[in-house]
Structure 1
Amino acid sequence: MVLKTFGWSFAVTALGLVAAFLFGGWTAFGVVAILSILEISLSFDNAVVNAGILKKMNAFWQKIFLTIGILIAVFGMRLVFPVVIVAVTAQLGPIEAVDLALSDKDKYEALVTDAHPAIAAFGGMFLLMIFLDFIFEDRDIKWLGRLERPLAKLGKIDMLSVCIALIVLLITATVIATNALQHGGTTVDKSSTVLLSGVAGLITYMVVGGLSGFFEGKLEEEEEREHEAEEEAERTGKPRSAVALAGKAAFFMFLYLEVLDASFSFDGVIGAFAITNDIVLMALGLGIGAMYVRSLTVYLVRQGTLDDYVYLEHGAHYAIGALATILLVTIRFEINEVITGLIGIVLIGWSFWSSVRRNRALAAAEGKAQGSDEKTEVSSGV
């Protein structure tokens, strides 16, 4: 199971490290290894959240997620995205941006760093909406009950998540972005840029998430009526309508996953510049990390880990909230990527341990109940 799920990740790791060694020797080998670990640690929460969405898809769309999805994740976000940032901010053509990334690495790093406020605002708002929608939803299983129960009651207020997100964006634009951190430690007013990028992130979440939710709801309605319509579908020869609907639902959930992955990758791409400004090594290291995140997502789905450890999803969403906050704060203040990764690991580790304790408590309670039943039967027999 492990080899089947992580086989491609192992292969890409070997090829990537060999390529790094051939490209720049042992130094490049070490840099790529560090970047891979950085990406995995920063994106572990991404895998948990992705698994919660991916488990709703069939095997075909899971394969799409691992093939086309990984191409988008590795080549789109880890290679093309940094170049696009430079092209837009420096008003250069794509070819000129690539040439700059390869020939003048210091200038390339400066341009990407200067674009950080816009990136952080977009990704921060997208992730913040994911977190807010999660904590305001009334769930049967609650991890931090004293916190989640009152939040679930507040969640009954329409558009509360959007209102809070807009308030956070306004505060970020008017307070934090007025002294946005730039390359070299200088500051500049980026209020309008942050405001525009944040609104774009909010709109992206609402559009993609709304479409995904709409088609997912349609799919659930169709599944509820499936047993009634099955005979009629066979008789009329029209079973394809349900398949098409499932395809639309899966497509928009896939699209949602890709945008979600893009938002998670923002901090990884920016953080990579703290280790290297070589675009080749960056693409290799982050690409290897992205492969493991993808494989880990599928592993969690196929093993049913989220069903066994019910608080993992909670921990991942709290990590998302922390990451969204960190992204917005980094518009003005520099925060070490190690701190970002540790926060996510601690929250997920805590939720995992809480899940283990819950499972043990349930098993103990079930054992006591069975023992009580056996004693009752023995007493009745006597």
Structure 2
Amino acid sequence: MVTRIFGLSIVVTIVSLVVAFLYGGLTALALCAILGILEVSLSFDNAVINATILNRMSEFWQRIFLTIGVVIAVFGMRLVFPLAIVWVTAGLDPVKAFDLALNPPADDAAYFPDGSPSYETLLTDAHPSIAAFGGMFLAMLFLNFVFEEREDTWLSWLEKPLAKAGKLDMLSVVIAGLGLVLAGEFLAADDDRSTVLISGLLGIIVYIAVDGLGSMFHTEEFEEGSSGPSEAVKATGKAAFFLFLYLEVLDASFSFDGVIGAFAITSDPIIIALGLGLIGAMFVRSITVYLVRQGTLSEYRYLEHGAFWAIGALAFILIVSIKFHVPELVTGLIGVAFIGAAFITSILANRRDDADSDKAPVSVS
């Protein structure tokens, strides 16, 4: 099972490293490997959330996401997205933007008569708006989770009061909106304030739209059925399509920090595509498949909770990064810490349940 799931990722990794070596020698090979490790460490919580949502989708739509969705993640977010930012912010056509990324000139005057900065700087300058959009989208995802009542709680001392507070309708929107206003006021530079506010508002709107449409069509399918929702019911049709869109936007939000962080290592889009896209995205796909096929989320009850708390931390980091630089290592370690703590407490909870079942008296008929 493990070999079959991770086999393709291992092959893609080897091929990517060989291509990187042929492209730029040992330096390119090392950079590609570092970026692959960076992406996997930053995106483990992404894989857990992907698996949670995929469990709600039919097998057909699971395959769609794990094939077409991965292609979008590899080429869309890790290659086209950085170039698109440069197209928009610098007013370059796609060919010149790609040429500038591959061959950054000593003097940018060839493309920018007024002496505007390079490709890497342009992408970095766009970070406040990217961070605002991604931070607000992830914040909505996290807030809707913690404000929802559920049978199992992980950090019960905190999750139970938050669930009670969540009975106030639209509280997640109120909190996210307040956070956006504070970010625009205290974190955004004067020149970026309007951009940050608009980008953050778009992040909230996109979340509400995609999540709402998915829920609406899922509910309609249950109403048309005979027995209503159950664990056996999987989203199909329009409901699954909107869950697919939801996953794509979610993956994009998770990818922001990795793509921006990659430019601290290299600005070469080919190396970024090989390291983040092929190696990183393929391993995230394999981890997602493993979690779904093995039923890991049901076996380790708090793993989903840990992933959502990691999302909350990532949303906070993205918003803070509008003004302050947060090292990618810190972002990755926080996510791993939440997932690891949830995994360990799940094991301990399972052992307690087993011990309690062994102590339970056996009834004699």
**Same structural fold, with TM-score higher than 0.5 when normalized by the shorter chain:** yes
* Superposition pairs of residues 32-111 of structure 1, within 5 angstroms: 32-104=32-104, 107-111=118-122
With the length of structure 1 as denominator, give the TM-score of the two structures.
Answer: 0.88
Shift of 1:189: 3.1
Q: Does 1:206 align with 2:208?
A: yes
Preserved CA contact (<8 Å) 1:42 1:340: yes
Q: 1:150 corresponds to which letter in structure 2?
A: P
3-state SS of the aligned residue for 1:177? Answer: coil
- What is the distance in 1 between the residues matched to 2:167 and 2:226? 26
1:22 aligned partner: 22
Which is further off, 354-363 or 247-256? 247-256
| 1:328-350: CA deviation from partner (whole Å, max 9, x where unpaired) | 11110011100000000000100
Which amino acid in 2 is paired with 1:3? T
Q: TM-score by structure 2 length?
A: 0.92
1:218 aligned residue: 220
Equivalent in the alignment of 2:166: 155
2:292 equivalent in structure 1: 301
Structure 2 residue aligned with 1:175, among 172, 179, 186? 186
Shift of 1:224: 4.4
More deviation in 214-223 or 249-258?
Answer: 214-223
Could you tell me how far 1:220 is from its partner in structure 2?
3.5
Query: Identity rate of aligned residues, in percent?
Result: 61
Q: Distance in 1 between matches of 2:59 and 2:326?
A: 39
Could you tell me how far 1:222 is from its partner in structure 2?
4.1
Farther off after superposition, 350-359 or 55-64: 55-64
The CA distance in 2 between the partners of 1:306 and 1:224, in whole Å, is 28
Structure (1 or 2) with the greater helix fraction: 1
In 1, Cα distance between equivalents of 2:127 and 2:343: 33
Report the CA distance between 1:8 and its aligned residue: 2.0
Question: How far off is 1:217 after superposition?
Answer: 2.2
- Give me the whole-angstrom Cα distance separating, in 2, the residues matched to 1:294 and 1:38: 15
Query: What is the CA-CA distance between 1:210 and the residue it aligns to?
Result: 0.7
1:312 is matched with which residue? 303
Cα RMSD for the two superposed structures: 1.8
Q: Pick the aligned partner of 2:252 from 262, 265, 269.
A: 262
- Shifted more, 188-197 versus 257-266: the winner is 188-197
Q: Are the aligned partners of 2:222 and 2:228 in contact in 1 as well (CA < 8 Å)?
A: no
Of the structure 1 ranges 5-14 and 324-333, higher mean CA displacement relative to structure 2 is found in 5-14
- Work out the number of aligned pairs and report it: 350
The 5-angstrom pairing of residues 267-306 of structure 1 reads 267-287=257-277, 288-306=279-297
Which residue number in structure 2 is paired with residue 368 of structure 1? 359
Partner of 1:117: 128
Taking the aligned partners of 1:164 and 1:226, their CA distance within structure 2 comes to 32
Give distance in 1, aligned partners of 2:273 and 2:257.
14
Contact 1:62-1:298 within 8 A present in 2 as well: no
Determine the C-alpha separation between the residues in 2 that align with 1:357 and 1:218: 40
Q: Could you list the runs of 5+ residues in structure 2 that have no partner in the other structure? A: 106-116
Q: Which amino acid aligns with 1:282?
A: I
Q: Confirm or deny that 1:141 pairs with 2:152.
A: yes
